[in-house]
Amino acid sequence: MEEDIKRILVVSMITKNCMAIHYGISLARKYGAELTIVHIVHNPFGLEGWNVPMMSLEKEYENMLEEAKADMEDIIEMEKGKGLPIKRLIREGEPTEEILKVVNEEKTDLLITCHDAESRLEHFLFCRSNEELIRQMPCSIMLVENKQMGALW
């Protein structure tokens, strides 16, 4: 199986508690695989033309993204310091579509993402559906339960 895993793609929730990143790092080290971490930015507040008072929610969402990006950068820099080369991508658009594009562009052998246990609010904010991904994925996929990691790093 070792020769089958050359390129790993992790879909990140860009937080330090994202278990998918932990698994991606561990497997990349184990198999000597290339690791790419992608975060798909999907703006659920793109309601131009709608007279809906969502400015405070949109601002809170933007602040949450900035804080999460900083957390992701800390993790990546720490692992790079340990010698693991990590490629990071941030894409904008519909998540399933963008993930499939990256899988094909990067010639991914294994996709790692968190499983579909998000709340309705998380589904709205992150627009994720693993069912869509699983049906369309041209490579192996690993679904990870996103438990709190504590001080694993």
Do residues 113 and 143 lie in contact, with contact meaning Cβ atoms separated by under 8 Å? yes
What are 90's two structure tokens?
């941030």
- Provide the number of structural domains found in the chain: 1
- Mean residue pLDDT across the chain: 76
53 within domain boundaries: no
For the segment 16-56, what is each residue's pLDDT rounded down to a tens digit? Answer: 567 888 899 999 999 999 999 998 876 655 544 444 555 56
Write down the pLDDT at residue 2.
46
Domain enclosing residue 42, as ranges: 2-47+78-144
58 within domain boundaries: no
133 within domain boundaries: yes
Give the pLDDT band (50/70/90) at residue 65: confident
Give the pLDDT band (50/70/90) at residue 105: very high
Could you give the C-alpha distances from 18 to 4, 56, 91, 115, 138, in angstroms and in order? 25, 26, 18, 11, 24
23 within domain boundaries: yes
CATH of residue 31: 3.40.50.620
71 within domain boundaries: no
Predicted TM-score of the model (pTM): 0.74
Question: For residues 122 and 76, which has the higher predicted lDDT (pLDDT)?
Answer: 76
Question: For residues 134 and 68, which has the higher predicted lDDT (pLDDT)?
Answer: 134
Write down the pLDDT at residue 130.
72
Could you give the C-alpha distances from 46 to 49, 98, 102, 150, in angstroms and in order? 9, 17, 23, 34
Write down the pLDDT at residue 107.
95
Rounded to an integer, what distance in angstroms lies between the CA atom of residue 112 and that of residue 142? 5
| % of the chain exceeding 70 in pLDDT | 68
